[in-house]
Chain A
Amino acid sequence: MNESRNEHFSKMIRTAIEPIGVQELKKDLWHQAQVKLPQAGISVSVFDWVLATLVVILSFFVPEAFLVLLAHL
C-alpha cells in the first residue's frame, strides 16, 4: 500500500464517519458517582463476618471470654 492510497482511504473514512473530537460534558457526574460511594463505606468483608460470628458463639458458650475480649479492645 502506498502512502497516497492510505491517505485517500483515511480521508474517505473521515468523510463517512464524522470525528467527534473534543466533546464537552454537559453535566456534573459527581452525584451519580456519589450514589455508589456509601456502599464502599459500609462494605464488610466475609472475614469480618466470620470473626464477628465466632465472637458471638464464644460469648454464648464462654461468657467470661467476652469480658477478656472487652479488656483487650
Chain B
Amino acid sequence: MEKQMELLERFTTGDVEAFETLFQQYQKNVYGWIVRIVRNPTAAEELTVETFWRVYRSHARFDATRSFEAWTRRIATNLALDYLKRARNEVEFTENISFESPTDPATRQDTRKQIQEAFNQLPPKLRLTATLALVEDVPYEEIAESLGIPVGTVKSRVFKATRLLRSKLRELGGEL
C-alpha cells in the first residue's frame, strides 16, 4: 500500500518510470473497459494509449491520495464517449449469436436486427449508458463513477434509452 502511494507520488512529479509501472498495472483494465463501450478492439487499443497519454499529461493535477484507477477510468470513459460521438454512424452492433429458444427463427432474426438498429440510433450519451447497463450488466454505481455523474442520472439515462428503444422498435414494427 505504501509502495503504491510512493509510486503515485513519483508519478505526480512526472517520473516516467513510475508512469510505466502504472501503465503496466492498469492497461488491461482500461482496455477492457473501453472495448465494452466502443466494441471495436483496434479502436479500444488506440483509445487506451490516448487515455494514458492524457493521464501522463495531467500528472501534476493528480491527487496521489485518490484512486488512480477511478481517475483513469473517468478519462477513458470520456474518450470513449467522444469516439462514439465522432463515429456515430460507424459503430454498429452486429454480433451474431444464436437464440436460446428459436421458436420462430425468422421473426427472432428480424427483432434482433431491429434492436441493433435502434441501439445504433441512440444519442451517444444514452448509448454509452445503455450499453454498459443493459448489455454489459455493469452496476449503476460503477457507471456513475466512471462518468462522474450521480447514480440518479444514470438511472434516468437508462430509462430514457429504454423508452427511445421501445419507441424506435414500435416504429420498426418490432415485438416488445
**Residues from chain B with Cβ under 8 Å of A1 in the complex:** 162
Residues from 126 to 154 in B contacting A, C-beta threshold 8 Å: 131, 134-137
Number of A-B contacts (CB under 8 A): 90
A59 at the interface (CB under 8 A from B): no
A30 touches B27 (CB 8 A): yes
Q: How far is the CA of A24 from the CA of B45 in the complex (A)?
A: 11
A12 touches B27 (CB 8 A): no
**Residues from chain B with Cβ under 8 Å of A21 in the complex:** 36, 136
B162 touches A9 (CB 8 A): yes
A10 at the interface (CB under 8 A from B): yes
Q: A59: shortest Cβ distance to chain B, in Å?
A: 31
Size class of the contact patch on chain A: 20 to 34
B36 touches A16 (CB 8 A): no
Supposing A13-B165, A16-B116, A29-B45 touch, asked if A23 and B35 sit within 8 A by C-beta, the answer is yes
B115 contact from A16, A24, A36, Cβ within 8 A = A16
**Residues from chain B with Cβ under 8 Å of A19 in the complex:** 36, 135-137
Q: How far is the CA of A21 from the CA of B135 in the complex (A)?
A: 9
Supposing A17-B93, A17-B95, A32-B49 touch, asked if A9 and B166 sit within 8 A by C-beta, the answer is yes
Size class of the contact patch on chain B: 35 or more
Supposing A9-B162, A18-B97, A19-B137 touch, asked if A25 and B112 sit within 8 A by C-beta, the answer is no
B112 contact from A15, A23, A29, A36, Cβ within 8 A = A15
**Residues from chain A with Cβ under 8 Å of B35 in the complex:** 20, 23
A binding-site residues for B, Cβ under 8 Å: 1, 6, 9-10, 12-30, 32-33, 36-37, 40-41
B binding-site residues for A, Cβ under 8 Å: 16, 20, 23-24, 27-28, 31-32, 35-36, 39, 41, 45, 48-49, 52-53, 56-57, 93, 95, 97, 99-100, 111-113, 115-116, 119, 131, 134-137, 162, 165-166, 176
Query: What would 7 A/B residue contacts be, using CB atoms closer than 8 Å?
Result: A15-B112, A25-B45, A29-B23, A29-B48, A29-B49, A33-B52, A36-B53
A-B pairs with lowest CB-CB distance, top 4: A16-B115, A18-B95, A16-B112, A25-B31
